Structure 1
Amino acid sequence: MASYAPLFVNSNDRRWNPDAIVFNSFQVYGTPSYWVQRFFTESSGATLLNATLQKDSSNSLVASAITWKNSEDGQTYIRIKVVNFGSNSVNLQISVDGLDPNSVKLSGSTKITLTSANPMDENSFKEPKKVAPIQTLLEDAQEMSVLLLPHSFTSFDLLKESVSLRITEDDSSLVSSI
């Protein structure tokens, strides 16, 4: 469940900042905060996975991993979300451990990045998509070498085959179908 308040603001009566959606009599745009909220609401009903971020990569990164079922296409995904809150780009090696071989499909996985050259950038009626997500296809979803831009939020959606996921917990292995 995700919530954001205040959600809407009329551009002619802006008493509060930040808002998620700005409108006037004939236009509307989402703020950067709106796009971040979308990342979290799209994967409701998710299962949090154990994720490890190697300490030698950067002190400006925060990451999480979940499995979730997309209500639009009915497919199951592993979503890895990484925030680079630092002012430098970071090269990151991402590997998915604990999966049966060939459990991530070769096609259908995507990368979505939300960033801007200046962390203070905002959208406007003139530039409604100045700060908006950019989606690209991933070529290799098993072993990924990615560049995380400064002040960015990046989401990797790895399309899963219908197989089992092995989760290690206190030296015992559990198998669950996801």
Structure 2
Amino acid sequence: MMIALGALGSAQAQNDTRIGAFLAYGSEIESLGIGVNAAFPVIENLTVAPSLIYYVPKENYGFKINWWEINANANYYFVNNEALGLYALGGLNYSNVKVSYDETWGFMGESSVSDGRVGLNLGGGLNFDIGSNILPFAELKYVLIDGGQLVAAAGVKVNL
């Protein structure tokens, strides 16, 4: 208990808690996404980094596709200096896809099906310190799930 409190105290002393927003692109859905994330220091060079991405719905051949994902990652910083933060990430992913079809002829009506899957995230990212409270970042991860998906993201985090 004392070790956990000590780690929490030193993490808060670093004041590296961050929240952010970003744009992402998913290779499987082939669509842009809008996301929010956070980073909470646990111990030196390690943060817990939850995120949520909602992909812009798309329509193909009358089918509307909605896709979102929740991530629970751990980021380990290999380089964390005043100009650059380079990290590897790993964690869990929950992806949900809903496909709906609206029959315009009137005899079937609207129908939909949704599915959620749990997968693993593997990747890395960069934080760019520009000398302010705003921290631009870029991240690339691969989601190990059924067909797999490569997700590229870029945005900003704000130091709290």
Q: Given the two structures, how large is their TM-score scaled by the length of structure 2? A: 0.33
More strand by share: 2
Q: Given the two structures, how large is their TM-score scaled by the length of structure 1? A: 0.31
